[in-house]
Structure 1
Amino acid sequence: MMQLDPKWEFVSDTVMGGVSSGTVTKEITEGREATVLRGEVSLENNGGFIQMAFDLREDGSELDVSAWEGLEVAVWGNGDTYDIRLRTAQLAKPWQSFRADFVSEPKWRSVKIPFASLTAHRVDAAFDPSCLRAHRYISN
């Protein structure tokens, strides 16, 4: 099992002219260290999202996770539905991704995301775990 220590960053609809706001902070939540996303989502100016994201490798290079069956994430939430979005070298546009939803609960729990459960978003491709990449669009 590979453990990640990501450097999370806040991303919002302001990249597209929206006005949502928020933060990503490290805190103790119910006795455990956590990276916490908080914010206000606004539908003004065609907006409507906040995210936290990280790059797998600082140089944006690919990571082969084909030996894995999926991801496991410890989450604590507010009862809302969230999604995990993965990007691979297969994707050419910033709005393309492979996604899986989960419902958060107001308690710590482990969420398993099998790669087989990922759905393609705005791309006609199957998830290829041999070329997992950074969350940003990287132009070659």
Structure 2
Amino acid sequence: MTQAIDPEWEFVTDGVMGGESQGQMTQEQVRGHAATRLTGRVSLENNGGFLQMAFDFNAGGGPVDASAWSGIELILCGNGETYDLRLRTTDLDRPWQSFRSDFTAPAQWTTLRLPFAALTPHRTDAQFDACALRRLGLVAVGRAFAVDLAVREVAFFA
């Protein structure tokens, strides 16, 4: 059982910190399906290191109660590189804090299920609280590489 999420994706780069990664986020047909696609190149120059597509679960940034669900389901494809899923809750107040899981984006359309129970807290002592879910990001991060990640669907799964 799933519940579809209709994200309003935003594009974010390390340029907010002076980094030099270059990319874009587009809406396009990818391998026969409408998708949101993140492409570009992550650069480590000038303290850089990421490209991201992200959305708030509520337009105003308020929390969503996802406690009835087991995790996030993504239908995606890419270039065989490893990316991060990052979730933020209302318990996190610093931009570098998140709950994370990495994944590989294969060349063919694939359904990935990333359970809340497998998330790793990053730079926080807080425990993941599915009742306080605020933001989701898919991030190309941490090393210089070519980015190509397309997402067809996002959902909660039971």
- Range into which the TM-score falls when normalised by the shorter chain: over 0.9
Contact (CA 8 Å) 1:99, 1:121: kept in 2 or not? Answer: yes
Q: TM (normalized to structure 1)? A: 0.93
Q: Which residue identity is paired with 1:95?
A: W
Partners of 1:74 and 1:11 in 2: CA distance: 21
What is the CA RMSD across the aligned residues, in angstroms?
1.3
Partners of 1:45 and 1:60 in 2: CA distance: 30
Offset, 1:135: 5.4
Name the counterpart of 1:134.
135
Name the counterpart of 2:62.
61
| 1:1-140 → structure 2 map (5 Å cutoff) | 1-134=2-135
Unaligned runs of 5+ in 2: 138-158
Partners of 1:43 and 1:71 in 2: CA distance: 29
| Higher relative contact order (CA closer than 8 Å, sequence separation 6+) | 2
Q: Which residue identity is paired with 2:41?
A: E
Partners of 2:99 and 2:84 in 1: CA distance: 10
Partners of 1:15 and 1:119 in 2: CA distance: 25
Partners of 1:135 and 1:27 in 2: CA distance: 21
Structure with more strand by fraction: 2
Partners of 2:22 and 2:58 in 1: CA distance: 26
Stretch deviating more after TM superposition (5-14 or 114-123) = 5-14
Partners of 1:77 and 1:40 in 2: CA distance: 14
Q: How many residues are matched?
A: 136
Contact (CA 8 Å) 2:54, 2:135: kept in 1 or not? Answer: no
